[in-house]
Structure 1
Amino acid sequence: MIAASIAGIVLGLAAPDTAVQLKPLGTGFVNLIRMMISPVIFCTLVLGIGSVRRAAQVGRVGGLALGYFVAMSFVALAVGLAVGNVLHPGSGLHLTSALKGAGQAQAAGAPPEGVDFVLSIIPTTFVSAFTEGQVLQTLLVALLAGFALQALGRAGEPVLRGIGHLQKLIFRVMSMILWAAPVGAFGALAAVVGSAGVDALKALATIMLGFYATCLIFVVVVLGALLWIGARINLFRLLRYLARDFLLIVSTSSSESALPRLIAKMEHLGVSRPVVGITVPAGYSFNLDGTMIYLTMASLFIADAMGKPLAFGEQISLLLFMMVASKGAAGVSGSGLASLATGLQSHKPALVDGIGLIVGIDRFMSEARALTNFAGNAVATVLIGTWTGGFDRSRADRVLAGDLPFDEATLLADADADAHADPHVHLGKDSGKHPAPDPLKEPAALGHGPAAAGAPATPQV
Structure 2
Amino acid sequence: MSAPPDVALRKDWYRSLYIQVLVGALLGAVVGLLAPGVGAAMEPLGQAFIKLVRMIIDPLVFCTLVVGIAGSRGEAAMGRIGGKALLYFEVMSTLALFIGLGVGFLVQPGAGFQVDPRTLDMAAVAPYVDKGAQHTVSGFLLGIIPDTLVGAFTSGDMVQVLFVSLLTAFALLRLGPTGEPLLRAMEKLEGFVFALARLVMLSAPLGAFGAMAFVVGKFGWHAIGSLLLLIGTLYLAEIAFIVLVLGTMARLCGFSIFKLLRYIKDEILLVIGTSCAESALPGLIPKLEQAGARPAVVRLVVPGGYAFNSDGTNIYLTLAILFIAQATGTHLSFGQLAGLLAVAMLTSKGAGGVSGSSFIALAATLSVVPDLPLAGIALILGIDRFLSEARSTTNMIGNAVATLVVAKWEGALDMERLKAALDGENTSLERSIPCKLR
Q: CA deviation at 1:350?
A: 4.1
Which fold has the larger relative contact order, with Cα–Cα distance below 8 Å and residues 6 or more apart in sequence? 2
Give the match's secondary structure for 1:279. helix
**Matching residue within 309, 317, 321 for 2:343:** 321
Supply the distance in 2 between the matched residues of 1:210 and 1:332 (Cα, whole angstroms). Answer: 26
Counterparts of 2:281 and 2:419, CA distance in 1: 23
Q: CA offsets, 1:341-389, max 9 Å, x none?
A: 1111233364210000000111101010011111111000000001011
Structure 1 counterpart of 2:141: 118
In the alignment, residue 54 of structure 1 is paired with which amino acid? G
CA distance in 1, matches of 2:186, 2:44: 33
CA positional deviation for 1:317: 0.9
What is the aligned partner in structure 2 of residue 312 from structure 1? 334
Cα distance in 2 for partners of 1:237, 1:376 equals 14
Match of 2:154 in 1: 131
What does 1:167-206 align with in structure 2 at a 5 Å threshold? 167-206=190-229
User: Which of 134, 151, 156 is residue 174 of structure 2 equivalent to?
Assistant: 151
Show the 5 A alignment for 1:218-237: 218-229=241-252, 231-237=253-259
Instruction: Report the Cα offset of residue 117 of structure 1.
Output: 2.2
Equivalences, count: 415
Matches of 2:336 and 2:218 in 1, distance apart?
A: 34
Q: Is the 8 A contact 1:255 1:332 kept in 2?
A: no
Q: Mean Cα displacement is larger for which, 104-113 or 63-72?
A: 104-113
Q: 1:156 to 1:273 in 2, by over 3 A?
A: same
Superposed, 1:318-357 pairs within 5 Å as: 318-330=340-352, 334-348=356-370, 350-357=372-379
Residue in structure 2 matched with residue 88 of structure 1 by the alignment: 108
Closer, same or farther in 2 for the Cα pair 1:14/1:310, shift >3 Å?
A: farther
TM-score under structure 2 length normalisation: 0.91
| Cα distance per residue 1:306-334 (max 9 Å; x no partner) | 11132232111111101111114447773
Aligned to 2:27: 7
Distance in 1 between residues matched to 2:316 and 2:297, nearest whole Å: 28
Q: Does 1:414 align with 2:418?
A: no
Tell me, yes or no, if the aligned pair for 1:188 and 1:252 is still in contact at 8 Å. yes
Asked whether the equivalents of residues 271 and 393 of structure 2 are also in contact (C-alpha less than 8 Å), the reply is: yes
**After the TM superposition, which residues 272-283 of structure 1 pair with which residues of structure 2 at under 5 Å, given as runs?**
272-283=294-305
Indicate if the aligned counterparts of 2:272 and 2:393 stay in contact, CA closer than 8 A: yes
User: Counterpart of 1:52?
Assistant: 72
The question of whether the paired residues in 2 share the 8 Å contact of 1:254 and 1:333 is answered with no
Contact 1:284–1:331 (8 Å) recurs in 2? no
Letter in 1 for 2:334: F
Structure 2: distance between partners of 1:349 and 1:340: 15
Amino acid at match of 1:47: V
Distance 1:348 1:193, change over 3 A: farther
For the structure 1 residues 324 and 206, does the alpha-carbon distance in structure 2 shift closer, same or farther, using more than 3 Å as the test? same
Give deviations 1:269-325, integer Å, cap 9, x for gaps.
111122112111111111111111000000000011111132232111111101111
Change (3 A) 1:284 1:235: same
Matched, 1:269 2:294: no
1:109 corresponds to which letter in structure 2?
K
Which of 123, 126, 131 aligns to 1:101? It is: 123
Unaligned runs of 5+ in 2: 1-20
Q: Deviations over 1:84-111 (max 9, x none)?
A: 1111111222357454332334212336
- 1:166 paired residue number: 189
- Mapped contact 2:128–2:356 kept (Cα < 8 A): no
**1:2 offset after TM fit, Å?**
1.2
**Superposition deviation, residue 125 in structure 1:** 1.7
Q: Which runs of 4+ in 1 moved over 6 A?
A: none
Distance 1:259 1:334 in 2: 19
User: Is 2:309 aligned against 1:287?
Assistant: yes
CA contact 2:96–2:315 (8 Å) conserved in 1? yes
- Asked which structure has the greater CA Rg, the reply is 1
State which of 72, 90, 109 in structure 2 corresponds to 1:70.
90
Residue by residue over 1:186-225, the C-alpha shift from the partner in whole angstroms, topping out at 9 and shown as x without a partner, is 1111112222233331000111001101110110111011
8 A contact 1:333–1:366 mirrored in 2? no
Task: State the secondary structure of the residue aligned to 2:123.
Answer: helix
Please give the root-mean-square deviation of Cα atoms over the aligned residues, in Å: 1.7
Which deviates more from structure 2 when the two are superposed, residues 50-59 or residues 258-267? 50-59
Counterpart residue type for residue 8 of structure 1: G
Q: 1:44–1:329: structure 2 CA closer, same or farther, 3 Å change rule?
A: farther
Distance 1:240 1:79 in 2: 24
Taking a change above 3 Å as real, the CA distance of residues 339 and 247 of structure 1, as seen in their structure-2 partners, is same
How far does the alpha carbon of each residue in 1:155-177 deviate from its partner, in whole angstroms, 9 at most, with x for none?
Answer: 22222222111111111111111
